[in-house]
Amino acid sequence: MAEFTMELNDEQKEVRDWLHGFAADVIRPAAAEWDEREETPWPVIQEAAKVGIYSLDFYAQQYFDSTGLGIPMAMEELFWGDAGIALSIVGTGLAAVGVLANGTEEQIGTWIPQMYGDANDVKVAAFCSSEPDAGSDVSSMRTRAVYDEAKDEWVINGTKTWATNGGIANVHVVVAVVDPELGSKGHASFIVPPGTPGLAQGQKFKKHGIRASHTAEVVLDNVRVPGSCLLGGKERLDERLARAREKAKAGGERVKNAAMATFEASRPAVGAMAVGTARAAYEVALDYARTREQFGRPIIDNQGVAFQLADMRTQIDAARLLVWRASWMAVNGKPFTAAEGSMSKLFASETAKTVTAQAIQILGGNGYTREYPVERMHRDSAIYTIFEGTSEVQRLVIARTLAGMPIR
C-alpha cells in the first residue's frame, strides 16, 4: 500500500509537465473555436492520440498508479486547458471504467482497445446510463434487456440520454434492467459492438457549456447483442441476482448495481476536472488583477479584490486535497466510511462554480465577454454540479453514509 503524500514523484511531475504543455500548446488555442462550433474536436483528439495521451496505455498507467494521484493529476491539467475539449479526450474513460469495474479479463482485452482505436483512426466510446425519467434515480430505469436463450442473445430496448459520445461512439456500454422486481439491484451492463442494428443517435443537445463535447440521446430498438457482451458473464449475473433476491426476502442490506459502481469509481476524477477549471479561471483573474490598473495602481492592491483571490486559492487547494485523498483511498482499497468520494466531487464542483464566477467579477465587463476565457470557464463549470450525481445527490450520499443508512 502506497503512503498518502501530497508530493508528486519525479515521474509524475514529468507526466504533469508533459500534459500541461499539451494543454497549453494544443488545447487552449483551439478552445474558443470548438466551443463556438459545438462539434467534437476530432483533430485535437487525434493529436492527443499521436503523442500518447488518448490511448489505453496512458489511461491504464494513470489508473493503476499505486499512489492514486495519476488520474486526478491528469484530469486537472487537461481540464485546465479547456473543459469541453478535455471531456472529448477523456469521455471514453467512463465507458472504459465500466468495463474494468464489471467485465471479465477477456472482455477488457477485447473491447477497451476498440474504444480508442489508434492514432491513424481514433475512436470514442460512450457510457449510457441516464434516461429521460431516470437520472440520479437509477432505480427508475426503464431500458430493458431480455435474454433469448435459444440464440444466446440479449435483446435491449429503451432510450438513454445525456450520453457523452452517444451515437458517435464505436462502442457503447449500456446499463439495462434485467429483473424489474429487484429495482436498482436488477441492473446489468452490456457492450453494444460497433455497427449493431437498432442502435441510433437521438437528439443531440445544444448545451450551456462543455460545448466541444458531444452529448446526445441513444435509442435502442430491439438491439440484439451476443451473450458474451453481458459484462461479467451470465453465470456471475445469475449469482448476483440470486443473492439480491435472498436479501430482498430477508430485508437485508442493499447491494451495489453496475451503474453505481462505475459512478463511485469516477467521482474523484470529476472533482479533479473541476479543480482544473477553477485553477484556470483563478490564474486568469490573478494575472489580470496584477496588470489591470485603476486609479493609478493594480487592482490587486485593493483589499476587496485581493481577498477574493485569497479565498479562490484557498478553496482550490482544499478541493484538490479532498480529491487526492479520495483517489488515494480508492486505489488502496480504503472504504469510504464518510463518503469521501462524494465529498471530493461535491466540494470541488461547487468550488469551480464559485471561483469562475469570482473571476468574472474581478475582470468586470471584460470577464463577461468572450474576449476573455473566464466567461467560457464559468459556463463549463456548471456541469460539475450536475453530471455523475448532482450536488444534492452527493449531499444525500454523504448524509446517509454518516447516518449508517443504505444508499439507494
Give the active site residues.
388
For 271-285, give the secondary structure using H, E and C: HHHHHHHHHHHHHHH
Give CA–CA dist 62/159, Å, rounded: 33
Residue type, 81: G
Give CA–CA dist 138/145, Å, rounded: 15
Residue type, 161: T
Task: Provide the 8-state DSSP code for 372.
Answer: S
Phi, psi values for residue 189, rounded to 5°: -110, 145
Give CA–CA dist 241/103, Å, rounded: 16
Pairing of strands 125-128, 171-177: parallel
Grid cell in block for residue 232: 461479467
Grid cell in block for residue 270: 470529476
Give CA–CA dist 277/386, Å, rounded: 15
* Centroid of chain to Cα 112: 17
Grid cell in block for residue 240: 448476483
**Angle of the 374-381 helix axis to the 340-363 helix axis, nearest 10:** 150
Which residues are CB-contacts of 276 (< 8 A; sequence separation ≥ 6)? 75, 76, 77, 78, 79, 80, 81, 83, 86
Q: Give the number of other CB atoms < 10 A from CB of residue 1.
A: 9
Helix (H) or strand (E) holding 224: strand 215-226
Distances (CA, A) of 275 to 20, 125, 155, 318, 345: 14, 24, 41, 10, 10
Which residues are CB-contacts of 164 (< 8 A; sequence separation ≥ 6)? 87, 91, 94, 126, 127, 213, 214, 215
Grid cell in block for residue 370: 468572450
Residue 145's beta-bridge partner residues? Answer: 156
